[in-house]
Chains A and B, each alone.
Chain A
Amino acid sequence: MNALLPSLPTIVALVKIGLLVGGLMTAAAYLVLVERWMAAWVQDRKGPNRVGVPLTKIRLFGLGQPLADGLKIILKEDFTPRHVDKVLYTAAPLVILAASLAIFAAIPFGSALPPIPALGLTGEEPLLVAPGLDVGVLWVFALSSIAVYGVLLGGWASNNKYGFLGGLRSSAQLVAYEIPLGLGLLGVVLAAGSLKLDAIMGAQADSGVWYAFAQPLGFVVFLVASFAEAARLPFDLPEAEQELVGGYHTEYSGIKLLLFLVAEFLHMVTAAFLIVIMFLGGWHLWGVTGSGAVETWTVALLRFGVLSAKIFAVILFFMLVRWSWPRFRFDQLMNLAWKVMLPLGLVNLVTVAAVEEFRPQVTAALGAGWARALALALPWGVFVLGWLAAGLLTPSGTDNTPIRTHGPLDVEHELVEV
């Protein structure tokens, strides 16, 4: 065979990369439209419904809007202010977009394709760019931390106080929420016994119990932390428009801004993927997609459809939450991370470890049915208790009561103890 021709695995990987990147970019563009629709509908407006097929009068409910939006922002002037650090300023959007795209190398976007002998694919083909990667979860988390660099670089290189403040806030927030995120994830890894995301989905499909039900506390902690990691409301402090103009991308315009915005959207998509894969059963749905190998195209398509539908539902939830809650204050954000989410994550981890440790003994002593019931009852009991404790014991924020002990304002007064 000609040595210059790429090998079959390379071709397959390239095709998958092409499909994934193309699909993600299109999805990001259309999710912007979905987000605008949701925003409009929640505010009792109609939303974008005009732009349809270019150069015709066909409107298609505004489905041409992403194209117009993209064209508009690409054609805008790509202005570089004089006071910025040019190298870092240019590198920041590239870093953040590259990191957010590279994450998807380890994220399965379906289950697998059945064998296609005509193309020389004898085994089933996993719908995952890097199927052999044993450290999938680590890869995802390492790269999502690198995406923070993009935000930091952008904020720093802009040489602008709003950009700088946005970058600072972002770094503090992302570092704080990495920990509960990791703790929520550790429970899943412990239960599944694998760092591969497709293996985690497979474990949930085999047992039929999604980890959201088996580890409710871990699910909540992970959900909240992934909202914060994606910098979505109510955790969008890094780019709070009312306080920081645009946050870390204040000084950006044109295509560089577009890269930032796409990367931000990809963060949300990544978060949705992770939530679905790790806690909501991935491609598994009772009665629709069972566990086991993929033999027919029907199974492959069904699993792909179930996974996509779940991810879309989670993204819709992200968007609905955006219009339901006001932004946290920064001290509340930090309180939540360190005083609530971190202890709850640890409690969840200990619970999961205990359940997994004693499962064989309980099964031997009481039978499999009791073991399964206890493995569900214990985490839910811990969830209720932990939630009550978190609600009742932790300070719900700083004290906002006004200080009443001021002396008359027109005379010199001593320092009053408050």
Chain B
Amino acid sequence: MKPTDPSIVWLEERPLGLAERLYLPLFMQGLTTTARHLVSPKVTVSFPEQRPQVGNPLIYRGVHRLNRDAENRVKCVACFLCATACPAHCIDIVAAESPWPDREKYPESFQIDELRCIFCGMCEEACPVDAIELTSLLDLTGKSREEMIFDKEKLLSVYDMTKDAEPMKSAELGGTL
């Protein structure tokens, strides 16, 4: 676009007013703003003792979990949609023939490398049966890299741990239960 383009709207900088030229009124204004923040309530918390408020757990993207269905079986049908959608390639699924009559496959092993994960939430969006979900757990630590590769049991245990505080998202969002 050329500077002469008629569609450009040139904005004029407002000339300084008397208060601005004298500087002192603005000086007081700036000082009161800082002084107000000095005593205002703080937004940070003393972390390990005090948990930060997660705004909306429904849309927060924390540690993954694998949901269970009503019969306590893993909901996953090993369709590989999450692994395909994953931009970080952190999901590794080994599928096997399902022992149950209502589905063809189930995940024999389901691993998520939490260190590779970028917590984008694509797996959750891709999942057709709402088996994989992101919880609002935000402090994920471990002492080794191996420990941070979550297998099926661990992901199911995350579900057991969080199911009371955070019910399955699909029920409230009107998805397939």
Is A329 interfacial (CB 8 A cutoff)?
no
Q: Mark B10-35, 1 if CB is under 8 A from A, else 0.
A: 10110010101111100000110111
* A411 CB to nearest chain B CB (Å): 10
Report the tally of A-B residue pairs with Cβ distances under 8 A.
60
In the complex, chain A residues whose CB is within 8 Å of the CB of B45: 46
Contact across chains for A44 and B40 when beta carbons are under 8 A apart: yes
Report which of A44, A45, A387, A408 forms a contact with B2, defined as CB distance below 8 A: A408
In the complex, chain B residues whose CB is within 8 Å of the CB of A388: 22
A-B contact pairs, 27 of them (CB 8 A): A38-B38, A41-B37, A41-B39, A41-B42, A42-B34, A42-B37, A44-B41, A45-B42, A45-B43, A45-B44, A320-B35, A320-B38, A321-B31, A323-B34, A324-B33, A324-B34, A387-B22, A388-B22, A391-B18, A391-B21, A396-B21, A400-B13, A404-B3, A408-B2, A409-B2, A409-B3, A410-B2
Contact across chains for B4 and A44 when beta carbons are under 8 A apart: no
| Other contacts beyond A44-B43, A45-B44, A320-B35: 15, CB < 8 A | A41-B42, A42-B37, A44-B42, A44-B44, A45-B42, A49-B46, A320-B38, A324-B30, A324-B33, A391-B18, A391-B23, A392-B18, A396-B16, A396-B21, A400-B13
* Most chain B C-beta atoms within 10 Å of own C-beta, residue among A324, A388, A396, A410: A324
* B32 CB to nearest chain A CB (Å): 9
Q: Mark A49-75, 1 if CB is under 8 A from B, else 0.
A: 100000000000000000000000000
* B7 CB to nearest chain A CB (Å): 15
Contact across chains for A392 and B10 when beta carbons are under 8 A apart: no
* A227 CB to nearest chain B CB (Å): 12
Contact across chains for B43 and A41 when beta carbons are under 8 A apart: no
What CA separation (Å) do A41 and B12 show in the bound complex?
37
Which residues of A come within 8 Å of B, CB atoms? 38, 41-46, 49, 320-321, 323-325, 387-388, 391-392, 396, 400-402, 404, 406-410
What CA separation (Å) do A409 and B23 show in the bound complex?
40
Q: Which 8 A-B pairs have the closest CB atoms?
A: A324-B30, A391-B22, A391-B21, A324-B34, A45-B44, A44-B43, A406-B3, A41-B38
* B80 CB to nearest chain A CB (Å): 44
In the complex, chain A residues whose CB is within 8 Å of the CB of B12: 401
In the complex, chain B residues whose CB is within 8 Å of the CB of A387: 22, 24
* A286 CB to nearest chain B CB (Å): 25
In the complex, chain A residues whose CB is within 8 Å of the CB of B16: 396
* B34 CB to nearest chain A CB (Å): 4
* B43 CB to nearest chain A CB (Å): 5
* A44 CB to nearest chain B CB (Å): 5
In the complex, chain A residues whose CB is within 8 Å of the CB of B33: 324
Known contacts A44-B43, A324-B33: does B13 contact A392 (CB below 8 Å)?
A: no
On chain B, the number of residues with a Cβ less than 8 Å from chain A's Cβ atoms is: 28
Report which of B2, B22, B39, B44 forms a contact with A46, defined as CB distance below 8 A: B44
Contact across chains for B13 and A401 when beta carbons are under 8 A apart: yes
Known contacts A388-B22, A400-B13, A404-B10: does B31 contact A46 (CB below 8 Å)?
A: no
In the complex, chain B residues whose CB is within 8 Å of the CB of A392: 18, 21
Known contacts A38-B38, A401-B13: does B31 contact A324 (CB below 8 Å)?
A: yes
With both beta carbons as reference points, the residue of chain A lying nearest to B4 in the complex is identified as A408
With both beta carbons as reference points, the residue of chain B lying nearest to A320 in the complex is identified as B34
What CA separation (Å) do A408 and B4 show in the bound complex?
7
What CA separation (Å) do A202 and B41 show in the bound complex?
43
* A328 CB to nearest chain B CB (Å): 12
What CA separation (Å) do A323 and B23 show in the bound complex?
17
With both beta carbons as reference points, the residue of chain B lying nearest to A325 in the complex is identified as B30
Contact across chains for A320 and B31 when beta carbons are under 8 A apart: yes
* B78 CB to nearest chain A CB (Å): 46
In the complex, chain A residues whose CB is within 8 Å of the CB of B44: 44-46
With both beta carbons as reference points, the residue of chain A lying nearest to B46 in the complex is identified as A46
* B24 CB to nearest chain A CB (Å): 7
Contact across chains for A43 and B37 when beta carbons are under 8 A apart: yes
With both beta carbons as reference points, the residue of chain B lying nearest to A326 in the complex is identified as B30
What CA separation (Å) do A45 and B46 show in the bound complex?
10
Considering the complex, which residues of chain B in the window 45-70 have a beta carbon less than 8 Å from any beta carbon of chain A?
Answer: 45-46
What CA separation (Å) do A404 and B5 show in the bound complex?
11
In the complex, chain A residues whose CB is within 8 Å of the CB of B23: 391
In the complex, chain B residues whose CB is within 8 Å of the CB of A42: 34, 37-38
What CA separation (Å) do A45 and B43 show in the bound complex?
6
* B129 CB to nearest chain A CB (Å): 43
What CA separation (Å) do A323 and B96 show in the bound complex?
61
* B134 CB to nearest chain A CB (Å): 27
* A222 CB to nearest chain B CB (Å): 16
In the complex, chain A residues whose CB is within 8 Å of the CB of B24: 387
